[in-house]
Structure 1
Amino acid sequence: MALSREEREQFLAEPHVAALSVDAGAKGDRAPLTVPIWYQYTPGGEVWILTGRDSRKAELIAAAQRFTLMVDRLAPSIRYVSVEGPVTAVEPATREQLTELAGRYLPAEKVAGYVDFAWRNHGVQVVVRMRPQRWLGTDIGTL
């Protein structure tokens, strides 16, 4: 069964690990790059991710100026939401943004240690913002 807009937005707002997909080459000689990623989303707002400024993801997103996120779950029913849209901003990441994102996915007692490690060792990070434009969402019910 197709999900309503409200159901899609609420599901995307939950802390799922997303599959990010972005075009890997205009010549058609490569499939899209698809990688797991943490993200942040508030219903009605923009999606944002953190990535290394010099990462392959950042390079491809800059070229394509859009990307797709897909999140899913298997229980209590099989449900997924896919959202695609244009990049609206790329800006230097702050320690507060890294803390917010880590706090979404990690137990509270692990956040500070992770943030300290990532801030020191992952190089310059950027926040990439995307405006959701095209949505798909389905729940096939309890099996």
Structure 2
Amino acid sequence: MALPREERERFLAEPHIGALSVDSGSEGRGPLSVPVWYQYQPGANLWVLTGRDSRKAELVAAAGRFTMLVERIQPSVRYVSVEGPVVGTVPATKDDLREVAARYLPADKVAPYVDEAWTAHGEQVVIHMHPEHWLSSDLGSF
């Protein structure tokens, strides 16, 4: 059963690992699909942080849109997939990295991760997507 708007937005706002998919731009190849951390607040744009020169960033820039799928399998099988246009790409700040890391890591691990990642991962960008098309379901508990 499809989720009502408020429920799918709340679910997307939870800290799931996302699967970002974008057109690979290659004839005879499927989309590039990779796991990512993301940030989302109900009613706002979704954003991901990635390497400025990464294949993912290049493909998203070329396509101008991407899809994000998040799911959980316990206590019930539930997912939300959202697709939409890129509405902005900006250089990432250390605060952006800290915000997204805090969604996924224990509080005592955030600062060490941010310090390491800020220098080790090279230049990063934040890609903002406006959620336009939603697909969701709650398949219940098994």
State the TM-score, normalizing by the size of structure 2.
0.98
**Fraction of identical pairs, as percent:** 65
CA shift for structure 1 position 141? 1.0
State the TM-score, normalizing by the size of structure 1.
0.98
**CA distance in structure 2 between the aligned counterparts of 1:55 and 1:140, rounded to whole angstroms:** 35
Q: Residue 59 of structure 2 corresponds to which residue in structure 1? A: 60
**CA distance in structure 2 between the aligned counterparts of 1:128 and 1:55, rounded to whole angstroms:** 12
**CA distance in structure 1 between the aligned counterparts of 2:117 and 2:65, rounded to whole angstroms:** 26
Runs of 4+ in 1 over 3 A off after TM superposition: none
Q: Residue 49 of structure 1 corresponds to which residue in structure 2? A: 48
5+ residue gaps in structure 2? none
Q: Residue 140 of structure 1 aligns to a residue in which SS?
A: strand
The Cα RMSD (Å) is 0.7
Q: Residue 98 of structure 2 corresponds to which residue in structure 1? A: 99
CA shift for structure 1 position 61? 0.2
Q: Residue 140 of structure 2 aligns to a residue in which SS?
A: coil
CA shift for structure 1 position 4? 0.5
In the comparison of the two structures, how many residue pairs are matched? 142
5+ residue gaps in structure 1? none
CA shift for structure 1 position 24? 0.2
Q: Residue 108 of structure 1 corresponds to which residue in structure 2? A: 107
CA shift for structure 1 position 28? 2.7
